[in-house]
A and B are shown apart, each in its own frame.
Chain A
Amino acid sequence: GQNIDQPTEMTATEGAIVQINCTYQTSGFNGLFWYQQHAGEAPTFLSYNVLDGLEEKGRFSSFLSRSKGYSYLLLKELQMKDSASYLCAVTEGYQKVTFGTGTKLQVIP
């Protein structure tokens, strides 16, 4: 089975940087996804980490430490449209993908 933990809510200021953490416990870890989901909409893919380290993609970066069971999503130069839920998801083996409950980020002016 899998256990994924993320903070429930976070608030950050427009233009700032925010880090959303995700810790997981799983057997047969294969990789870790980050998705963005606006309320009532479909989740959209942000990143997929398989190896340790930081992957940067524009304003968003994702980090993974397999030995620590830890990942974070870093959002820079926050914009109001970044207000959304951010979902961490872990793949176990080559089978099901399990999502955390998500972190609701509110960006304020």
Chain B
Amino acid sequence: DSGVTQTPKHLITATGQRVTLRCSPRSGDLSVYWYQQSLDQGLQFLIQYYNGEERAKGNILERFSAQQFPDLHSELNLSSLELGDSALYFCASSVTGGGDTIYFGEGSWLTVV
């Protein structure tokens, strides 16, 4: 158990819908990362937050948005869902986000039908 908690673990939704994935980082970690992993694909970096502020942005679609709240939990919002958005979404956290070890949650499986 890495200490990073993600909910829901599994989610099935229809095209065009909107979902929110939630992440609680490890206790003491200030930085949160979001990654997308499609079937048999590598981890695609989406976005990173540090202490509530966006720190780095990767290949995140405009239909996706995220935020980190004052209590440091984070949410990833996916809207106007398409079949290709079906993937495993990982949240990860680290203490500073400055090159220290990143710990991953178990992921949220999203299936768009």
Docked-complex contact B42 and A96, CB < 8 angstroms? no
Docked-complex contact B42 and A45, CB < 8 angstroms? no
* Given A41-B106, A42-B105, A43-B104, A91:B99 Cβ within 8 A: yes
- A89–B57 Cα distance when bound, in Å, is 16
Closest to B4 in A: A42
Q: Which of A16-32 contact B (CB under 8 A)?
A: 30-31
- A40–B10 Cα distance when bound, in Å, is 12
- A37–B41 Cα distance when bound, in Å, is 12
Docked-complex contact B42 and A94, CB < 8 angstroms? no
CB distance from A46 to the nearest CB of B (A): 10
Interface range on chain A: under 10, 10 to 19, 20 to 34, or 35 or more? Answer: 20 to 34
Q: What number of A-B contacts does a CB cutoff of 8 Å give? A: 59
* Given A30-B99, A95-B55, A96-B56, A42:B2 Cβ within 8 A: yes
Docked-complex contact B107 and A42, CB < 8 angstroms? yes
Interface centre among A30, A31, A95, A102 (most CB of B within 10 A): A95
Q: Which residues of B contact A72 (CB under 8 A)?
A: none
Give 23 A-B contacts (CB < 8 Å), ordered by A residue: A30-B99, A33-B102, A40-B88, A41-B106, A41-B107, A42-B107, A43-B43, A43-B90, A45-B102, A48-B101, A89-B43, A94-B99, A95-B48, A96-B33, A96-B48, A96-B55, A96-B57, A97-B102, A99-B35, A99-B43, A100-B42, A101-B41, A102-B43
